[in-house]
Every structure is written in structure tokens, then in C-alpha cells.
Structure 1
Amino acid sequence: MPTKNNKEIYNERLIESSIENVYHAFSNPDQLKEWWGPEDFTNTIHEFDLRPGGKWLLTMHGPNNINYENASVFKTIKPLQLVSWSRLTKPIFDMEIEFQKVSDYETQISFRMIFESASDCEKIRAFVGPKNEENFDRLEKELSKVKV
């Protein structure tokens, strides 16, 4: 996993779908709520203002009947390329999702979580890395429903 330093958690996946479909799965909150987060989580998206300075407010409902409130503010929006945000609720980190067209029917997607300190990153690295992979699994399942 190509991380720039010990303050980052990085996951990537080659998805068998067009970059337009992969980006739409993120940029459309109705579709995003179906796959965002680890396996067995559901989502309620309260606000999703995909523009620099826009808010993303959601509640992730865990399989343990615990709700996890998430608040973020978008920083960078480059359609079909990059979306980044700063998370305002704990754990605090910046997130970058990069979309790269590999072919007409393949897209490389990556998650880069950037923490303020290496110790903050290490506290959740072992847990988050595998959960990001579950997130990609759910994205692939969601995209399998999309007719091209």
C-alpha cells in the first residue's frame, strides 16, 4: 500500500466498471448510502453538499445497534478525479478519494486517510484498513446492479 508516511492509511482497488459509474456511485447520495462503510452497516445521509466548503453529515448505523455520527466538510472536488474532505468528528483525519480511468470498463479507486500524527493513525490502522476493503467490496456489489 503506497503511503507517503506513517500518518496515512491507504487502500486501493481496481473496479470493473467505468469511471463515470464509479464516480456516480460516490457523488449521488442515494447510491452512496447503499455502499458506504463496512459490511453490515447502513447509512442515513442528512446532508451531502458536494462542493468545496459543503457539508457531509451522515449517521452510520452499525450491526450492533450503535449509531455513529459523522460530520465532514468537502475541500476539493474534481469530478471523475478526486474528492477530498476534512472529518470534523472523531477520529479526525483528512480523506482523499482518487478515481483513475484504467480502461472504458476499469477504474482504480483509492482511499487515502491522512492523520495529524502517526500515533493517531496507529490507533486505528489495524481496524480501518480491513474495513476500507469491506467498503470496496460493497461498492463492487452496488456497481454490479448498474446497467451500462
Structure 2
Amino acid sequence: MEGFSMRQYAWKPAAEMVVTLLKIYEANYPEILKTCLIVNAPKVFALAFSVIKKFMHENTISKIKIYGTDSKKWQAQVLAMVDKDQLPVFYGGTMVDENGDTKCSLIVKPGGKVPKCYYTKNTSSVNKKEYKRVTIKTGDKHTVDLLCADPESVLK
């Protein structure tokens, strides 16, 4: 979380987007998040999070742990979940990338603009006959039967 300023946290369109994404996430995927560790959080992040968490479910909030820049407070927590050889040296592990970078910048990409090579094309090759539009009212259920050819598949 290095390099963030109050200006970025206070930008209204970004804040509105975060709240919208949280609502969508909690309404549709409530149990996907197991744990979220936010490390190296600047002090201003705590202020921003105190506003955002008002829009979050208590169950989700309980899964989020926020740590400042004191690595002694968060490293043990991270190492309890991630093997040391899978964690960059910068975060307390032993892993470096092929350039010897302790942040493993070739593997763990910093935020920023997504390179165009990762864009997907808007294709119209989808067989629309396979899709059916349904409206599900609050409290109702809709069942969809799926045939899975691979018994090792995981649906996320």
C-alpha cells in the first residue's frame, strides 16, 4: 500500500466504485474471502477504511486485518499462511525473482494500468442460444444444472 495519498482515498468516483464493488461482492460472493491482510497501510488508510466498513457486513470486516509499516506486527501472520520460499524477501520470505529483485516485480506486478496484451476481445462468437435470462426475486431460488466433464474441476 505504498505511495497512496489522501487525495486518492478522497476521490469521490473511486470511493463510490469501492462501495459499489463491496455491495456486489457481499451480495453475490459472501464466502469467497477467507482472510485479507493489508500490510504497509498508511495511516490515512485507516481513516478511509473506517468510512468504507460502514457499508460492509460484519462477517466480511472480521476477515480483514490491517497492519501499518511495522513488519514485526504483520510478518508472523503472513508467514503462518504463506511458505517462506513463496513469499518475496521484501515481505519477510526468501523468494527473489530471476533478476534478484526482493520485491519479485517480475512475478508480483505492482498496481497500475493493465497492459493491452491482457485485454480480452469483445467477441460475438458466444452462442446466445445457450443462455437464458432469468429474474430472481429476493428470497427466491433458481437452479441451473451443469454437466461437468472433469471431476477435478472447481467452480468459483
TM-score range, shorter chain: under 0.3
Greater strand content: 1
Q: Which has the greater radius of gyration? A: 2
Greater helix content: 2
